[in-house]
Structure 1
Amino acid sequence: MTETPAILVTTRQGGIAILEINRPGSKNSMSNDLLAAMAAELRALRHDDDIRAVIITGAGGTFCAGADITGFDTLRDAALLGAREEFGGTFWSDLATFPKPVIAAIEGLALGGGCELALACDIAIAGESAKFAVPEVKLGVIPGAGGTQRLVGAVGKSKAMAMLLSGDFRTADQACAAGLIAETVPDGEARAHAVALAQRIAKNSPLAVALAKDAALRALETSLSQGLEHEKRNFHIAVRSADCHEGQSAFLAKRAPAFTGK
């Protein structure tokens, strides 16, 4: 009997976990089963102190071509009954509240839910031939996993509206210039660049990294004054930590710090 390939392949590289979407036959489109598997991995990795960063990527030269539209019937039926069923269950909230850095390593297509996944990650790196779009309006629907909200925050209202209302594609260079992604790299190198960045992040205090991520995300949800108060709170938590003492001691002794996350 032939074993069915896993739809999600998780590997570890030092303190980095790499989650690879493995549905190349459907261009790594999202199904409820895939997102449930990703949610379970995130819940496990959240409490794994050995993991300092997570990379999400796709197999076969494609990141994610969006939601598997064969699952739309279930959502439509639920909506007609007045329910607000979440596609992917808890995955999107698990990702939004994940305390460790998450990097998207993108090759090929990042469309619809794939573009929303890139936006939901903390950092996105893409191969130069990658393509981005939120084409849901072409199917008579709209983004439903944070795309309308996060895209405006990433690229501004005018650029976001142009993408959302037309469904047009953007190249990796256009996406980088707009602020949708952080960096464009040669094709085939997105994963390697993401790993290198994750390794640099992993050398830092995990507590400070988590507090910095938390404070930065707060900027998207609150006023400047509220964000500054939250930043001050996180700063005082960090400055009282053992990692802060270790970082200062290591700097003065000209040695590499041994951070513990405490």
Structure 2
Amino acid sequence: MSTSNQSRIVASISVVGAGRVGRAAAAAFRAAGYEVHGPTVRGERIAPADAVLLCVPDREIGDAGAAARGAAPFVGHTSGATPLVEAGVDFGLHPLRAFVGTEDADSFDGVGCAVAGTSPDALRVAEELALAVGGRPFEVRDEQRAGYHAAASIASNYLVTLQAAAETVAAASGLPEGFRSHLVPLVRGTVENWAAHGPREALTGPIVRGDEATVQRQRAAVEASAPDLLPLFDELTDRTRSLVGTKGMPV
């Protein structure tokens, strides 16, 4: 669902930052019918607009925000972790997705967007922008940001780290190069099951079945082939047992 041009608070946007998010945001806002300036890079003049959206690294938000003051009545950022008060901006719009640089004008469609504002009008701007590009806005207050961003990092960043660990164990066990392609359908199916049924019902494998002998064989294989990953394996095993509500064999 998008907002109509007639009901919008802002008509023009200056996008600051030509990285992955900045390029995707500029393309999405243009497709949604906004007058878009940028994305600009550091040192470039910020064109006057109804709103400025800072798509820059967290450490650069303060300087970029100061430079944007005077260019628009509303200045916002796309940071998930940085509180609005700390950043000195009016609103926040953080798309809850991973950008890899190949996104197009539909890159926000259906994506949850954490929005916030230092005033009711600023919050309305953030919600409007999210809705206009097909996003699904939900409010995150400053005091919730650290926990929100930690949850997002666990779900996205640490999932990639976990898959890297799986590839390491597979390679160290002598499985063929390109084994990742066989893991991908498993991971996709698991994520789809988690999305549809929640974590407990999505779980499969030896811990759910109570097959501790298999768990111990897995542990021995990790210890032999990739011993540096053994603490991670043990922690994940313990957390999975807790989720299932079972106790395992002592190690």
More contact order relative to length (CA 8 Å, sep ≥ 6): 1
TM-score normalised according to structure 1 size: 0.27
TM-score normalised according to structure 2 size: 0.28
Q: Rg bigger for which structure?
A: 2
